Amino acid sequence: MSPTSEPAIPSRPQPPQSPNYLKWVLIGCSTLFVIGGGTVLLAAIWYFSARPTSQSNTSGSRPTLPGRKDVKLVSDHGVETVAKMWSSCSAFAPADWTITGNEQHVGIGVDLAAPDRMMFASYGIVSLARTDILGGDYYGTGTPEVFLKNAIESTGASGFDMDNESQPIEGGYTLRYWRANYQGKPFRGFALYQAIETGDPTNYILAYRLGSSEAGKWDEAKHVVYDIAASIRCTKHLFPVQQSASSREPQGTSKDQVDEELSTKREETTMGFQNVYSPSTGQHWEASYSDYNPTGPDGPGYYRRVGNSYEKLNEGFPPN
């Protein structure tokens, strides 16, 4: 359900506190000595236990050691994503997702969709007109909520309705859940949006991120659409609405700075799983908090297996 063609979001859960896991122990807690071989075996144990511990290599991977079978891997429950591009926009989504977009002089927006079109994620930033001073909302853009309703229903959805409750999110955003019917099925979704004043009472800038899925799959799908929406980044010079074509010049850096701030922050702290990536390959995952290692081989964090080694993953998105 894509507005351009298309909780409270839970505050990012803190990484799980260290549970009462059993301490790592060396394999072979008991040793059988045979007559005549005990001395040799004791000498071998002394030699290996006295060897200095090797330092970690700089790549973040270290050899697998006995007793580390309890290291949780990001692939256990996480979702691997790949870079998607459209015009000046980029995002991270599963490989089989599609990306489309729409760009006008007053804004830009992109939508990502699962192959079965049962999950969507969107981002947009657009300059909108206020006409209430003329006696009515003639364009259906007078408030963010009216614009989002009209945009989503323009894709073929019906019965769009936002929940009454809204939640203020750090940075000036508003979060609201919504419901609608799409392709004959009930859908659930979220809207995270911010209205930015331009100094002109006749228009404002709206920045938004949307995510949705079939209602019956919302609990399992919401983390995926949260983080895909959070990953979208676009570069756009905005023009005020109703400006003549002869005077269309990019507005000052303030609008660009707003878009840059919205894009780089990506609201990761309020959306779903932890985003992590491999420092050696750039591969990206939406990692489940259940795969967080409080005491991993190279310290707390998320890990992937590399041959017979483990690599600790960096938090966030791969560098552009």
Instruction: Report the C-alpha dihedral over residues 163, 168, 172, 173, rounded to 10 degrees.
Output: -30
Residue 35: Cβ within 10 Å count: 5
Q: 77-113: per-residue pLDDT in tens? A: 889 999 999 999 999 999 999 999 999 988 999 999 9
The pLDDT of residue 250:
34
Q: Would the pLDDT of 123 be above 80? A: yes
Q: What is the pTM of this model?
A: 0.68
- Residue 52, SS3? coil
Nearest residue to 110 (alpha-carbon basis) of 126, 133, 134, 130 = 126
pLDDT band of residue 188 (cuts 50, 70, 90) is very high
Give the start-to-end residue ranges of the domains of the chain.
38-74+274-315, 88-270
Query: Can you give the pLDDT at residue 229?
Result: 93
Mean pLDDT over residues 23-41, rounded? 34
CATH assignment of 88-270, given 1.10.3470, 3.40.1000, 3.40.50, 2.60.40? 3.40.1000
